[in-house]
Amino acid sequence: MADQKLTKTGSLQSEMTIALHTNYAIGLWQGRKPGKQEGDVPVKHGIIGMPQFFHRATLINQDSLKNNPWADEAMYRLEEKLKAATETMSQLIQKLDHEVALLPKGVTLTEVASVEPLDIQVFTRTPLGYRCVFLLVGFDQFAKKVLQASHYGLITRNARDSYLSEGGRLLRQIYGTVLSYRRVEATRLDAAENNDIWRKACEDAGEPDRAVLLGQKRSAFSPPVNEASVNLLRLRYQSI
């Protein structure tokens, strides 16, 4: 007789490791501490790295789970920024490939790689965190091609610096998106009641986008919107 006992599998596990080949990408991963004032030399501002980005993106995701519309708005804005940055990176790569295509026939270049790449194990609690990692790895691959093209005279020094600056700025803009987020202790239920907590939150942070508040505009990576609170909100705004 077959064994009818039901069993459950263990939890699923997976690991992600990336290899960074350029100092430009490594610098974006690590970030930069603020410099110290030395005479009249301007102080270099600090730049967060990927670990700090993960931390802040996780806070936004946790607040989104609490039915916080400001967190939902930040999630939506972050996803849109990542989409735009990925598209811009693709355009930069296409532009560079066009310039490298001027290489004469009979000349073959092997793919450039660091003899000692930096291997990093990656873990974040948000899908958008991994999306940002993919963008960083894409920038690293792009930076390798830029440096190779510059080395062989396929692009000028100015073009090299411009490419690297434009690519790096895409990551820094993503970091800036989470840096601008400020936690607000209010939910959609507070909005439906229009209570003191909600009014104080709106005074401090400004009222969130109405479409976000009603769940009409939402990140694909946000948790499902709380339908009960959204229905109450619809009734509230219909009565105004």
- What is the pLDDT at residue 13? 73
Q: 53 lies in a domain?
A: yes
Q: 2 lies in a domain?
A: no
Q: 167 lies in a domain?
A: yes
- Render pLDDT for 143-175 as a digit per residue (tens, 0 to 9): 999 999 999 999 999 999 999 999 999 999 999
Q: Which residues of 54-77 are buried (b: 16+ CB within 10 A; e: fewer)?
A: bebbbbbbebbeebbbbbbbbbbb
- Cα separation of 133 and 123, whole Å? 10
- Render pLDDT for 101-154 as a digit per residue (tens, 0 to 9): 888 888 888 888 898 999 999 999 999 999 999 999 999 999 999 999 999 999
**Helix 69-100 crosses helix 127-151 at what angle (to 10 degrees)?**
20
Q: How many domains does the chain have?
A: 1
Q: Are 213 and 191 in contact (CB under 8 A)?
A: yes
Return the SS3 of 125.
coil
Q: Which residues of 113-148 are buried (b: 16+ CB within 10 A; e: fewer)?
A: eeeeebebebebebebbbbbbebbbbbbbbbbbbbb
Range of the domain at 177: 20-27+45-185
Average pLDDT, the chain: 90
Sign of torsion over alpha carbons 220, 224, 227, 233: negative
pTM for this entry: 0.88
- Cα separation of 182 and 203, whole Å? 13
Q: 211 lies in a domain?
A: no
Whether 197 has a pLDDT exceeding 70, the answer reads yes
Q: 7 lies in a domain?
A: no
Q: 98 lies in a domain?
A: yes
Return the SS3 of 121.
strand
- Render pLDDT for 33-92 as a digit per residue (tens, 0 to 9): 876 766 656 567 788 999 999 999 999 999 999 999 999 999 999 999 999 999 999 999
Q: Are 75 and 128 in contact (CB under 8 A)?
A: yes
- What is the pLDDT at residue 34? 76
Q: 192 lies in a domain?
A: no
Q: 139 lies in a domain?
A: yes
Angle at 159 between CA 35 and CA 33, to 5 degrees: 15
